Chain A
Amino acid sequence: MIIKFIENIGNMTIVMLYAIYEALKFTLLCLIHLVNPNSYNSAMRMVLVKQIYFTAVTILPVFIAMATLFGSIIIGAVIMVATKYSLQNEIGSIIITFVIDEFAPFFTAFLIALRSGTAVNTEIAVMNVNKELNTLREYNIDLINYLFLPRIISGVLSVTFLALLFALIMLGSGYIFTMFYMHMDWHSYKYLLSSAIEVEDLVVLLLKSISFGFVIMLIPIYSGLKTAHSNTAIPISVLNGMVKLFIAIFFIEVLSLVLRLI
């Protein structure tokens, strides 16, 4: 009984370590292809353009609407709380830290994960089940170059660009709230933000957006690739991929907080 229990633990550990090794190997392969200039042929560039269009451009109306709505409410609440606790002097750094370092990349990552992450996971899983991936391999078409790399690059570019846009919209909303609650004029608000913002904030925004964008595409692709060859395996693949993706997003968020506290 005890031996069986220990064997099971050992077996599970081996399976888990092998899965981690496989995932890391895939990540490394993608990174090698990412820096290899030979990966960028005309077909790949066309897929990249289309992917950026579907990930970052078609979402814009909904994204701007959501950023304005949620961003305004949340920044309004933050300013109201700061005013209530007499933190008017710190309002610039509060807005910058909250908007640029935390909320904009995190919220953008969630939106893109929900919209494009699920789509990519399903797409790759369906291609896998229909043996389209095998056909591409038969024709000597590198799957990483043609299918995965454009999606990963578009994820990184889209999340970064949209996070910046989200931050700008939130800062704009912040001005409206400071105007009403603190009777602040545009020049004072601009001065407040410019004196509070540091290069470190922008670096944090960029690094977090790049990391989020990378995992938002990489994890669904990997999950789609690991789909068993049956139609019923597709929803399971998407479900597993999304759970892993959200864990990864939270992990990056927590890691960035820990690194900044050190």
Chain B
Amino acid sequence: MLENISLIKEVNFDMSIKDAHILANEFLDKIGLSYIGRFRINQCELSEIFFVLLIRALMTKERLVIIKLPYRLLYTLADIKNICQKIEILNNNKDILILDTFNNKINYKETICNIIE
């Protein structure tokens, strides 16, 4: 997973492998997932894969990160509050937009998300 995340910085920002790995590990460590650094995708849980995808998106130079239908990816997820908290911890300077269906609106009520219908 570490390589998966660090690749963006190595290729698009010409960062050395060592520095990119350190940065990727820092991001994983922020949400207590540094142990998945050496894991392959089949060893990871859905939520861990979700955060790897998110961190990878945060590594790009794009200002806006769009998370499309998180409940479709995290189909076993009961509460998105925890996910939103971790997204807030990870995010440094990007705008994060979560696109979801009206049916899931209730799940976002107690989160820090600014809900726009």
Contact = CB atoms under 8 A, between A and B. Distances in A.
B104 interface: no
Nearest to B12: A140
A44 B15 CA distance: 12
Nearest to B8: A139
Contact of A42 (B8, B14, B56, B60): B14
B12 A42 contact: no
Interface in B1-35: 7-8, 10-12, 14-17, 20
Interface residues of B, number: 12
Contacts of B20: 42
Contacts of A145: 11
Interface in A118-146: 139-142, 145-146
Query: Chain A at the B interface: mostly helix, strand, loop or mixed?
Result: helix
A170 B112 CA distance: 72
Nearest to B15: A42
Most-contacted residue by chain B among A43, A46, A140, A141 (CB, 10 A): A43
25 contacts: A41-B10, A41-B11, A41-B14, A42-B10, A42-B14, A42-B15, A42-B16, A43-B7, A43-B10, A43-B11, A43-B17, A44-B11, A46-B17, A139-B7, A139-B8, A139-B56, A139-B60, A140-B11, A140-B60, A141-B7, A141-B8, A141-B11, A145-B11, A146-B7, A146-B11
